Structure 1
Amino acid sequence: MSRSAWWRPVAEALAALAVLGATAGVLEWSLAWGFRGAGELLVGLAGVVLVVLRRWFPAVALLGLSAAAGAVPAVTLLTAVAACEAGRRAGVLRWPGVVLGAASLLPLATAPYRAPSPEQIVPLGMVVAVLAVVGPVLVGVAAGQQDRAVRILRDSALAADSRARLAERSRIAAEMHDLLGHRLSLISLYSGGLELALAQREPSLRTEAAQIHTTAALAVVELQEVLGVLGPVDDTSPTEATGTRADLAALAAASRATGTTVLLEWTGDDLAGSAPRLRLAVHRIVREALSNAHSHAPGAALEIRVVSTRDDVRVSVHNGPSQAGADSSGTGLGLAGLRERVALLGGTLEAHSTGGGFAVDACLPRLLPLHLPAPPQSPAPALTRPSRALRLAAGAAGLLAVGGLLLLGLRLVDRYAPPPVPLTKPRPIRLGMSQETVEHRAGKDDPLARAAAAGRESRPPAGAHCIYPYVSQERPGVPLHLVRYCFRDDRLIDISRFDIPAGGR
């Protein structure tokens, strides 16, 4: 395993520990809902392990953390992280509906462990289920669908680019069929005439002439089988004038006929007599660039420049900003086909924006290669994900939002606690009862009530130990009513009632 593969789980574990500690500290400081013992601390550490394992076992991590969140609210944020990851990968989960549904119900099942009263079980479970499971799962599902949509768009763009390249190669093959097929047909025709002439004048050479005729005819048939099945892609057949100065002048004149200003500059020798593939590439570049300009920048001024040297031919077509406000977007498939054609000839082609306009610049060698080079790699479509830092910042902001909502929800759950049994309707408690019976009827000793009574109660009987059940709900401006029960030898020997003034705790 590489070093980066080791460091990522370690970094995630440290970050999860920090989140767990911060959550537990805030809950303990604000609501006294932090870790209540070593058992809950072990549950929190197990939650850290599950968060690290969520990438490999998303269902197990989500179910385990969902069960822990209802009993130990400090792991709620870790559960939200696992739920978001499970939502993003819902498409690869086995029985995703069952897994996500069970994860949403588990906090309700484990909430009785932590809820202070039976009436608070459902509110606590609902708060944890919504904030730790349901909400993050929905966010993860939306993020996963967005990722899949981006991948589909990228694949579609690459497939469209590949189709354009294949179409351009088919067009070139059809042109080769037109050029070579015609030449080979002439060779077959001339060799047939030669065979007939030699049959009368030089019978000894008739066999060689017949072989030439047969080979030429076979070459025509094979060329038709290999290239003829592709069929012509358009109705433009190369001629001796294709790609020459006169040909480009005719293209420029056709554009001027639409009311467009077109400037044609030709420097160097004409291309008459040059290789047909080179002339046809020049024709295609200029024609495609003019067509794009008319489609996406109607009315824009056009400049066509051709520089023909001994080594190469440079073709540039520039257009200014559109005068009609047309949409400048396009598929880019025509340019992809041009790049393929130019690359097959060993040249280069660049297409880029120029201050509101657009430019197509190509360079073609005069000496064309005898073999077809490997097709150039298509640039990746401009569909990129946000940077890692941005995604981390968004994740941190989401956790802070979940933490704030969790604190608010737990405060509401804490306020939902039902009031204790009023002092005006006490259950009968008499001297001589056992401590177990008194605790069953009045409640167990409450540390907060004991602390409130310190310094404000009468001296307890000698040799007795006392309990202070909390028997009244504290309200602003209302004294706190306390009752003290003192026992000796497990028997109730004293009952004392007293009030703590409001604000005196």
Structure 2
Amino acid sequence: MPAGEPEAAVDSTERRPIGAAAGWLRREADVSRAALRAASRRTVAVDASLSALTAVLGLLPLLLVHPQHPVVAVLEALWAALLVAVRRGRPVAAVLGAAPLVMGGNVWTLPVIALVVLSATRRIAPPRRAWRVVGAACAVLGALTVAVGLFRWEHLPMDLADNAISAALLLLLPALSGTLLGRRRPLTGLLRERNAYLEQTRTLTAEAARLEERTRIAGEMHDLLGHRLSLISVHAGALELAAARQAPPLVGQAELLRTTAGTAMEELREILGVLRRAEPADAMDPTDGNGNQGTSERGTREDITALVTQSRQAGGGPVELDWSVPDTAEVGARARQAIHRVVREGLTNVLRHASGAPTRVEVRSTGAGIEVGVTNGPPREAGRSQGGTHSGLAGLHERVSLLGGTFGAGPLPDGGFRVAARLPTDAIRSVSGPLAKTSAGPLPPPRGAHAPLSTEVLTWPRVLGAGCASVLVVLPTAGFLVVVLLAALR
């Protein structure tokens, strides 16, 4: 056997513990970095601030009250600041690391010991494990006391008694308070889960009730309006054929009546489809059940031009269209639907209350969104209009408000009337593209139903009990710290 082999074996044996320790330190550093990245900025900022405050409060008094061992006192203050920083991610290590500070000479770190133990034991589950960790910390404190007492046997009994009292006040009582608060955490989580379940159940129940009511309304509209509109469409077709033979000048009016009745039937089918769907977002689907084009073409330049043309044919007087929205602009389906409704309602009001008055339709793009307006002059025959119920304007106001826009309608000083709406950019781009759909948000609570109780209200009795018990437990600790700190200042 070569002479160098035993030495090499000895060197490899000595390097194994060093390599294992280095590997453990690297793993701990990687875990700590990962936990730091996963933590929120607020948590990191709070822990950093508390650590800095602990270091300051532990070092500044040393300038006024000079300890016997300044270097040790400074190291104790820095160690306490480190324990504050690791109490969340390493609660067991924080409790064990607080034991040496109990017998330290820097009394300004004693409050930190109690707070670190209380905060750390809250995060150790189950409580039996927390008490085992606290017991290990007391054992470490006892071993350190005995080790230091070997050099001065005459003071060992007194040191053991003092450290036993300190352990009871700084380790055991804060640990009891922390475990009391820690038992509240599973209860809070359970009640929070129950509250979320009840809220979800309430939302689903309200949604089912709404869907049932909407289905009933759809059935009533189909049975009543559908039959009447079908009759109007049939008779309008017969009237068009008769006018073509007997009164050719009236063919255009008869054709407009027939096409209007057909359009009303199509819109009624769309409304019935919307009412029967569970999600309002489905109403933005550009195709109906048969694959035909639906509401996606509403609010385009061609659609508004067709509305203006129909208004002229119906005897609405001169109607001008001012369209300044670029063709490349992305306008969502809901915004286009709102544009169509505003223009159609405005032109309809002109035909009813100011027939023959000059009208101007404006659809223009601004930096903040799209502005839509229908302005008519004074009616040719004064006193013809009897006023209306304003239900159409109220519906427009609600539709525009849901998109986050503004709506206004009112008379003008010259006797005319103006209907205007402004749609913000967010509403315009919220649903872009022919196949885009909106996501339904949380449903508001139904009328007459109370919102579910908050988690704080549900857990208040248990929180109050745990809080009072924990406060009563740490009262002796607080008194002890006050006495010690006042004695150190003298």
TM interval, short-chain normalised = 0.3 to 0.5
TM-score using structure 2 length: 0.37
Higher share in strand: 1
Higher share in helix: 2
Q: Could you say which structure has the greater relative contact order, defined with CA pairs below 8 angstroms and 6 or more residues apart?
A: 2
Please tell me whether Structure 1 or Structure 2 has the larger radius of gyration of its CA atoms. Answer: 1
